[in-house]
């Protein structure tokens, strides 16, 4: 290969404003035209979630979500509205799961503070 030739590479630019953390959080969700069901969040930030769901959804779909997590002897609830901003329908299709990026649109009173607490605990746990 001639040294004047170069190899093409891929440059990945991080677009997120908030740091993201690896999690494994079950959550309940529903959309206006369906019953409540559940999914798993595997990545979380103050801006949104990476989730696996059992149903196919379109970009732009709004979901009402509820995340429950233990804190000491209490069970903390985070309630929010999130929008599907990207879809990867083939991610784990063999298992009947589809991967989505959700962006938070709004939080119930106190839920954003609870999310910040959760993410802080996760961050501290990942440093160890």
Q: Which domains does the chain have, with CATH numbers?
A: 21-122 (2.40.10.220)
d(CA 6, CA 9): 9
pLDDT of residue 56: 87
pLDDT tens digits, 15-67: 557 788 999 999 999 997 788 999 999 999 999 999 999 888 999 999 999 99
d(CA 80, CA 48): 10
Residue 6's pLDDT band (boundaries 50, 70, 90)? very low
Q: From 115, 101, 121, select the one nearest 16 (Cα to Cα).
A: 101
The pTM is what?
A: 0.80
d(CA 16, CA 46): 10
């Amino acid at each position: 290969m001639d040294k004047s030739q170069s190899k093409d590479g891929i440059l990945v630019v991080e677009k997120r404003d908030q740091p993201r953390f690896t999690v494994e959080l079950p959550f309940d969700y529903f959309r206006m035209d369906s019953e409540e069901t559940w999914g798993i969040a595997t990545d979380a930030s103050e801006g949104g979630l990476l989730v696996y769901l059992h149903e196919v959804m379109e970009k732009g779909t709004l979901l009402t979500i509820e995340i429950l997590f233990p804190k000491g002897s209490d069970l903390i609830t985070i309630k929010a509205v999130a929008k599907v901003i990207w879809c990867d329908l083939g991610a784990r299709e063999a298992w009947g799961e589809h991967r989505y990026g959700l962006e938070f649109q709004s939080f119930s009173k106190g839920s954003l503070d609870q999310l910040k607490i959760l993410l802080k605990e996760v961050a501290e746990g990942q440093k160890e």
